[in-house]
Chains A and B, each alone.
Chain A
Amino acid sequence: MAAHETGVAATAPATLAGRPSTSRLGLAALATAVSWLTTVDHKRIGILYGVSAFAFFLIGGIEALIIRLQLAGPHQTVVSAQTFNALFTMHGTTMVFLAIMPFSSAFFNYMIPLMIGARDVAFPRLNALSYWIFLFGGLFLNASFLVGTPPDGGWFGYTSLTLRQYSPGPSIDFWMLGLQILGASSIMAGVNFIVTILNMRAPGLTLMRMPVFVWMTLTVQFLVVLAFPPITVGLIFLMFDRFFGTHFYDVLAGGDLHLWQHLFWIFGHPEVYILILPAFGIVSEVLPTFARKPLFGAPVVIYSGVLIGFFGFGVWSHHMFAAGLGPVADAAFSIATMLIAIPTGVKIFNWLATLWGGRLRPTVALHYAIGLIALFTIGGLSGIMHASPPVDLQQTDTYFVVAHFHYVLIGGSLFGLLAGAYYWWPKMTGRLLDERWGRWQFWLMFVGFNLTFFPQHYLGAIGMPRRIYTYGDGTGWTFWNRMSTVGAFGIALSILLFAILAVRSLRGGAGAPADPWDGRTLEWRTSSPPPVHNFDVIPPVYGRDTFWREKHGDGRGQKPTPLPAVADPHGIHLPSPSFWPIVTAAGIVIAAVGALTHLWVVGAGVAVLLVGAWAFALEHHGNPAHADQTGDLGVDHRKLAMWVFIGSECLLFGTLIATYLAYKGRSVIGPHPHEILNIPLTTISTFDLLMSSLLMVLALAAVQRGDRRQSRLWLLGTAFFGLIFLGFQAWEFTEFVGEGLTLQQNLFGSTFFVLTGFHGGHVTLGVALLLTLWILDLRGRLGVADAPKVEVVGLYWHFVDVVWIVIFTVVYLIP
């Protein structure tokens, strides 16, 4: 039996069971609510993601229906042009960030630990924090409707449309801050799942034995942690331009509007794969299960997925062919885009080969999986057309593009996710969905989808532009627009039917056995729904499709020799519930609300955030169950997480530094760098920071050997050197302002202060972490067992140091 730590989730319902008085029922409801608010169980968090995503999906769907009603005929007046702009902006933003991404997260959360034979994710509280930040970020974005200023600059937020001059109200502020909040949530979740997958696999589950869904999840998480920093930087520039009058996107001051497009699409194209690869992973699980044969060429499918992710970083400018980048850039990005079609096509053929000769069991999940193959292929083929710049120039900003990406994101992503919903519903709820009505739901969706979006290819080809709120009588667009609107309501009806089937299943659906589909992977090895600790014993792994081999043997029917059960060395340890994730997330969103209202609200939000983060960090300090977190790679979870985070930070600082260099020499007025930078002074502060790294390694060595006197000395010394560096920076900034260089003065001031200021912010956080460790040490609460924590803080500190090494060279020394 699982050894729980004391927590509301574990105790409250049991205490109140069987006492039906009203007050008791009220208390039970309260306890249930509290247990969900404080849960850190990956399965519950998965359900929370799923429910929230479905709610946001309905909101995004209603927005789409109003758009379609407005376009159902010429000269419609369902909404105004202004409202139409807000609707397509929020529809795109909602579907990408608040519906499809979190739908995938629902499956990551619920299924990944089960599929790799783990009891939870590596950082359960961080997982809860990611969810609450996502939810609050989504509510914050949609709160813009309540105050009457929804974002209306498109989901791509192109400057200069989104600058204060052209969007003076708070609408773009909601969008810009909301996306930054959602980005923070995604990066945290990304780090968490990378560590979980690399470091928490059951014994015997080598990387190449992992299910394809797990592989695609791993690829997606790397894309998330590497693709979000560039757009975060772009949004920070936009925020500084709007709030503080900097010049990142100010053409008159030497800025470049293309910069935003680049930063947005450096994120935006990998984002397409963030949306589609989870669906590819799901289909790669569903097809072998219902074809009752192994996935054809599974390693090739895995390599193709990884290649798609890698190439995804090299194709972004195909979204900018119409921006005039020149023939060389157009040719390079065109070739890269065509190359990415190869691994994608490989997957399609592998799926078809999996079906070929299989004993097909035509479940609804299989319908959706095959639907994905058909519809994504159509979307992929129109995508290859866009890879050719001359063709793309004809299609840019027409409904042909709208048709293309909906075939990819609905025909691909949503169909894949619905396949996953039907496939894993019995595992998640312990109930079966109605297969007969499910087929009706599928066909309604399939027909409705094609009726909506196939005509849009034609509408685009005959010249209907995107984002127009109405059109005239003689355009020839009316019939196909009407068809499209009818199809959209077909999709809506299908989603309504899915919701009805889900509710009916939960209320009285037939019970699901542990393995209703004769599954192949580990999640089917435990009960439906699984117990809180997932598995009584960590399951043995016999190869790819391990559970199938266990039941049916290999290709010759030879069953594996049973391996002994793997006992948990410290018993079953489950994380206890925590309030701090929701408190910390609340602090972030309060600060964002403050940015739109009053400065004191920002202060209040930051205070809540700091208290939450502090309590979060120290909640389990000293708990021996948390001391040893060494995983499959022989590395502590926290250390691996810090390295992944540092990888993400490389992209953040890389983008900041690249922007500084791209804008170097473009300021139209002074002061210029050579007139103002003080190299001798900065050399001293650089030396100071380099030496702080030496003190940091000495501190770590002292903690590892249990020398408390020296550990206290070196930790304080490192923090002190960090404070000296910050003092130098404060002095330098003050001097510059005195000499006329401010954030607003010119492009150099904007790029210099933001780059070095962000680095200074990182140093400040590092000093705070070091002083926290020093105080713990002073109080005798930093022992040898805490060495990994010191090492993790040390890694962060050294990274801040290496970033400064680069900044010192490119900003101060290079003429």
Chain B
Amino acid sequence: MSEHAPGAAAHEHASVRTYVRVALILTLVTAFEVGVIYIRLLTPIVVPLLLAMSAAKFALVAMFFMHLRYDARPLTAVFVGPLLIATGLAVALMTLTGAFLVFGR
């Protein structure tokens, strides 16, 4: 009898080569992240730039290492839904405590 991991057979995951590529990209983006804070020219846009790169790394790990790209869609829903609620609450909390004013008071 051939052995299969229960529950895993239905969803193909990425190859080792893909994993290594993702790790390389993560390393490069991290290096860029650290690099941009020392470039004075980028100061006006450094915060959105850093947030974008951080979000890209977050998405790469979630999609490839956590297999969301390959797994059943409901798993994405139970992760992304709370993630959006958490982000919304965090922005609201910062706004309401005056740290990050979206609206004037």
Contact with A along B66-105 (1 / 0, CB 8 A): 1000011011001101110111111101111111100111
Contact with B along A787-815 (1 / 0, CB 8 A): 11001001100110110011011100111
Q: Which residues of A contact B99 (CB under 8 A)?
A: 661-664
Q: Which residues of B contact A219 (CB under 8 A)?
A: none
Q: Is the CB of B90 within 8 A of A658?
A: yes
Q: Which residues of B contact A785 (CB under 8 A)?
A: 3, 5-6
Complex alpha-carbon distance, A603 and B65, angstroms: 36
Contact with B along A282-325 (1 / 0, CB 8 A): 00000000000000000000000000000001000100000001
Q: Is the CB of A226 within 8 A of B82?
A: yes
Complex alpha-carbon distance, A327 and B105, angstroms: 7
Q: Tell me the minimal C-beta distance from A377 to chain B in angstroms.
A: 29
Q: Which residues of A contact B87 (CB under 8 A)?
A: 654
Where chain A touches its partner, the secondary structure class is helix
Contact with A along B39-73 (1 / 0, CB 8 A): 00000001100110110011001101110000110
Q: Is the CB of B23 within 8 A of A690?
A: yes
Q: Tell me the minimal C-beta distance from A557 to chain B in angstroms.
A: 37
A788 in contact with B5 given A262-B93, A679-B34, A806-B54 (CB within 8 Å): yes
Stretch at the interface among A465-473, A606-614, A693-701: A693-701
Q: Tell me the minimal C-beta distance from A403 to chain B in angstroms.
A: 29
Q: Is the CB of A694 within 8 A of B20?
A: yes
Complex alpha-carbon distance, A798 and B13, angstroms: 15
Q: Is the CB of B7 within 8 A of A630?
A: yes
Q: Which residues of B contact A701 (CB under 8 A)?
A: 13, 16, 19
Instruction: Out of A262, A328, A639, name the residue touching B7 (CB < 8 Å).
Output: A639
- Find the B residue at minimum CB distance from A332: B103
Most buried by A among B30, B34, B50, B66: B66
Instruction: Out of A198, A258, A809, A813, name the residue touching B74 (CB < 8 Å).
Output: A198
A647 in contact with B83 given A787-B5, A805-B58 (CB within 8 Å): yes
Contact with B along A634-661 (1 / 0, CB 8 A): 1110011001101110110111011101
Q: Which residues of B contact A787 (CB under 8 A)?
A: 5-6, 8
Q: Is the CB of A798 within 8 A of B65?
A: yes
Tell me if A33 is interfacial: C-beta within 8 Å of chain B: no
Q: Is the CB of B34 within 8 A of A683?
A: yes
Q: Tell me the minimal C-beta distance from A50 to chain B in angstroms.
A: 29
- Find the B residue at minimum CB distance from A666: B99
Q: Is the CB of B66 within 8 A of A635?
A: no
Q: Is the CB of B3 within 8 A of A813?
A: no
Instruction: Out of B6, B16, B33, name the residue touching A813 (CB < 8 Å).
Output: B33
Q: Is the CB of B90 within 8 A of A798?
A: no
Q: Which residues of B contact A683 (CB under 8 A)?
A: 30, 34
Tell me if A572 is interfacial: C-beta within 8 Å of chain B: no
- Find the B residue at minimum CB distance from A795: B66
A629 in contact with B86 given A256-B97, A635-B74, A813-B37 (CB within 8 Å): no
Tell me if A703 is interfacial: C-beta within 8 Å of chain B: yes
Q: Is the CB of B7 within 8 A of A259?
A: no
A694 in contact with B19 given A230-B89, A802-B62 (CB within 8 Å): yes
Contact with A along B10-30 (1 / 0, CB 8 A): 110110100110110011001
Interface positions of A from 744 to 792, Cβ below 8 Å from B: 783-785, 787-788, 791
Q: Which residues of A contact B79 (CB under 8 A)?
A: 643, 646-647, 650
Complex alpha-carbon distance, A372 and B32, angstroms: 60
Q: Is the CB of A662 within 8 A of B89?
A: no
Q: Is the CB of A788 within 8 A of B72?
A: no
Contact with B along A210-234 (1 / 0, CB 8 A): 0000000000000001100010000
Q: Which residues of A contact B64 (CB under 8 A)?
A: 697
Most buried by A among B7, B14, B26, B37: B7
Q: Is the CB of A788 within 8 A of B97?
A: no
A809 in contact with B6 given A198-B74, A698-B19, A814-B47 (CB within 8 Å): no
Contact with B along A697-712 (1 / 0, CB 8 A): 1100101101000000
Complex alpha-carbon distance, A655 and B103, angstroms: 21
Q: Which residues of A contact B83 (CB under 8 A)?
A: 647, 650
Most buried by A among B47, B54, B71: B54
Complex alpha-carbon distance, A706 and B3, angstroms: 8
- Find the B residue at minimum CB distance from A326: B105
Q: Which residues of B contact A735 (CB under 8 A)?
A: none
Q: Is the CB of A690 within 8 A of B94?
A: no
Q: Tell me the minimal C-beta distance from B46 to chain A in angstroms.
A: 7
- Find the B residue at minimum CB distance from A639: B7
- Find the A residue at minimum CB distance from B76: A643
Tell me if A686 is interfacial: C-beta within 8 Å of chain B: yes
Q: Is the CB of B82 within 8 A of A651?
A: yes
A647 in contact with B82 given A259-B97, A813-B37 (CB within 8 Å): yes
Q: Is the CB of A654 within 8 A of B86?
A: yes
Q: Is the CB of B54 within 8 A of A805?
A: yes
Tell me if A506 is interfacial: C-beta within 8 Å of chain B: no
Q: Is the CB of B27 within 8 A of A690?
A: yes
Q: Which residues of B contact A226 (CB under 8 A)?
A: 82, 85
Complex alpha-carbon distance, A686 and B34, angstroms: 11
Tell me if A633 is interfacial: C-beta within 8 Å of chain B: yes
Complex alpha-carbon distance, A221 and B26, angstroms: 35
Q: Tell me the minimal C-beta distance from B9 to chain A in angstroms.
A: 9
Tell me if A691 is interfacial: C-beta within 8 Å of chain B: yes
Q: Which residues of B contact A654 (CB under 8 A)?
A: 86-87, 89-90
- Find the A residue at minimum CB distance from B104: A328
Most buried by B among A326, A639, A680, A694: A694
Most buried by B among A262, A627, A647, A815: A647
A658 in contact with B6 given A313-B85, A640-B75, A664-B99 (CB within 8 Å): no
Complex alpha-carbon distance, A37 and B33, angstroms: 54
Tell me if A329 is interfacial: C-beta within 8 Å of chain B: yes
Tell me if A437 is interfacial: C-beta within 8 Å of chain B: no
Tell me if A244 is interfacial: C-beta within 8 Å of chain B: no
A809 in contact with B96 given A230-B89, A654-B90 (CB within 8 Å): no
Q: Is the CB of A805 within 8 A of B61?
A: yes
Instruction: Out of A328, A643, A663, A686, name the residue touching B78 (CB < 8 Å).
Output: A643
- Find the A residue at minimum CB distance from B36: A813
Tell me if A266 is interfacial: C-beta within 8 Å of chain B: yes
Instruction: Out of B23, B57, B82, name the residue touching A650 (CB < 8 Å).
Output: B82
Q: Which residues of A contact B11 (CB under 8 A)?
A: 634
A698 in contact with B16 given A706-B3, A813-B33 (CB within 8 Å): yes
Q: Tell me the minimal C-beta distance from B33 to chain A in angstroms.
A: 6
Instruction: Out of A266, A687, A798, name the residue touching B27 (CB < 8 Å).
Output: A687
Q: Which residues of A contact B100 (CB under 8 A)?
A: 661-662
A704 in contact with B23 given A635-B74, A687-B30 (CB within 8 Å): no
Q: Is the CB of A658 within 8 A of B89?
A: yes
Instruction: Out of A635, A791, A810, name the residue touching B72 (CB < 8 Å).
Output: A635
Complex alpha-carbon distance, A647 and B78, angstroms: 6
Q: Which residues of A contact B8 (CB under 8 A)?
A: 636, 704, 787-788, 791
Most buried by B among A680, A683, A697, A783: A697
Residues of A within 8 A of B (CB): 194, 198, 225-226, 230, 256, 258-259, 262, 266, 313, 317, 325-329, 332, 627-630, 633-636, 639-640, 643-644, 646-648, 650-651, 653-655, 657-659, 661-664, 679-680, 683, 686-687, 690-691, 693-694, 696-698, 701, 703-704, 706, 783-785, 787-788, 791, 794-795, 798-799, 801-802, 805-806, 808-810, 813-815
A–B complex contacts, Cβ < 8 Å, 22 sampled:
A226-B82, A258-B96, A258-B97, A329-B95, A329-B105, A640-B78, A643-B78, A647-B78, A650-B79, A650-B82, A653-B86, A655-B89, A690-B61, A691-B23, A696-B65, A787-B6, A791-B8, A798-B65, A802-B58, A809-B54, A814-B46, A814-B51
Contacts A661-B94, A805-B57 aside, 17 further interface pairs with beta carbons under 8 A come to A266-B89, A313-B88, A313-B89, A317-B96, A636-B6, A639-B7, A643-B79, A647-B83, A650-B79, A655-B93, A662-B100, A690-B61, A698-B16, A808-B54, A809-B51, A809-B53, A813-B50
Nearest 10 pairs between A and B by C-beta? A654-B86, A787-B5, A647-B82, A636-B7, A658-B90, A326-B105, A809-B54, A628-B6, A694-B23, A662-B99
